[in-house]
Amino acid sequence: MWVAYNVRYSENNTNKDIMKKFWPFSFYFLYFAAASSLFPFFVIFYQELGYSGTQIGLLTGIPPLITIIAAPFGTGLADSTKRHKLVMGIGLFVGISMIVMLPFLRIFGLVFTAVILHNIFMSPIGSLGDSATLTMLGEERTMYGRIRLGGTLGWGLFAPIAGFLVQHQGLKIAFWSFSIIMAVNLFVSQKFDFGAPAENTSSNGGIKTLLSNRTWIFFLLTAFLGGLGAFSTASYLYPYMAELGAVESQMGFASLIATMTELPIFFFGHRLIRRFKSHNLFITAIILMGIRALLFSVASTPSMVYLVQALGGTMFPLLWLAGVNYADENAPAGLKSTAQGLFSAMSFGFGSAVGGFVGGILLANIGGRSMFFVFGIAILVLIVLIETIRRLTVGHAVPQ
């Protein structure tokens, strides 16, 4: 009997361990599958509505700015109220509702409002997912990369399916696909475990606590550079390839190369984190982004862009893995989600917004080649400056 009890106990623990990885993996898979089903078609949707370039610019440029406020506010609210699942559920529900409405709207003001509300409520979702995943992994948090691999697979598998459906069924199918997949993810998100409640902290007080820490200030400054490097490439690589004479199929192949090279980084990311530590990897990723931009600036053919992409695809997962782990390692008790929200706001909010706005101006005035050269030099000079000041004011040692 005792042996049978031990066997059942061991099996139950094994099943719990499996589910602690299954639910986060499923969340990322569905989250990015939904994103790939719709987000690449937003500009086409706006063009079909007959919007001007300025209107489309507002609809695409404002969302990253929203992340700066909405992500840390939402995650801070979840930490302060200890209602992470509720905040996540409401965010997903409202975000889905806005997407369901969009195909029926034509007036710019209504479309703009729906897009803004969607981004406000969806901004904290990814950071809350990261926080829950790391909590559920516990001592295995360095395995985060393999869980996050689900997102890469979801995007890679559903992007071509979405393209096929839109080609044969029209743009509305993209909105329905997103809504259905994300509705399933709403259920999955309620399976997350955010750990036992810690001491009471207000949303505003939690953010102030982090921003009063010099180590965090320097981390957020480097996170800005990461977002600048990532978003400038994501937004302006295709226009630059067009300058080089590439057609749409060649542009898609460049994206495929980058996606495929993400896989080994996410899969073996835990070994990289253990071996080199999160801060060192984070700085390395940003330096490599600067170098990638310079390599893009000297590429003269689409084939040369492929070579850069084969190396460049490793940088975003390296940045994400190291940043998420570093934020978790250095977050005070009770502020894990707030920390992820600040990291997201600075990199994929502020950094992305600056990269988008400045990149558009540079592309229009000096062309893609010079634009990437400017970004590359700026990233490398600023990361050296930030790290030098950090070492002089905080010291060489970085909390791990």
Name the domain boundary from 180, 197, 214: 197
| Whether residue 246 sits in one domain with residue 150 | no
Task: Please name the helix (run of DSSP H) or strand (run of DSSP E) that holds residue 266, with its range, or none.
Answer: helix 248-276
How far from 38 is each of 32, 250, 274, 339, CA to CA, in Å?
10, 21, 36, 28
Question: Which range, of 19-33, 150-164, 373-387, averages the lowest pLDDT?
Answer: 150-164
pLDDT tens digits, one per residue of 287-327: 999 999 999 999 888 888 888 888 777 888 888 888 888 88
| Whether residue 120 sits in one domain with residue 77 | yes
Could you list the beta-strand ranges (E) of the chain. Answer: none
pLDDT tens digits, one per residue of 113-144: 999 999 999 999 988 998 888 888 887 877 88
Report the number of distinct structural domains present in the chain: 2
For residue 177, what pLDDT band results from cuts at 50, 70 and 90? very high
| Whether residue 279 sits in one domain with residue 310 | yes
| Whether residue 392 sits in one domain with residue 284 | yes
| Whether residue 230 sits in one domain with residue 369 | yes
**pTM metric for this prediction:** 0.72
Domain that holds residue 69: 1-197
Coil vs helix vs strand at 368: helix
pLDDT tens digits, one per residue of 285-298: 999 999 999 999 99
| Whether residue 248 sits in one domain with residue 282 | yes
| Whether residue 137 sits in one domain with residue 234 | no
Sign (positive or negative) of CA dihedral 365, 371, 375, 378: negative
| Whether residue 205 sits in one domain with residue 180 | no
Name the domain boundary from 178, 197, 216: 197
Rounded-to-integer distance, Cα 320 and Cα 322, Å: 6
Tell me what pLDDT residue 116 has: 93
Name the domain boundary from 148, 177, 197: 197
| Whether residue 192 sits in one domain with residue 205 | no
| Whether residue 243 sits in one domain with residue 218 | yes
For residue 202, what pLDDT band results from cuts at 50, 70 and 90? very low
| Whether residue 97 sits in one domain with residue 121 | yes
CATH number, domain with residue 10: 1.20.1250.20
| Whether residue 284 sits in one domain with residue 176 | no
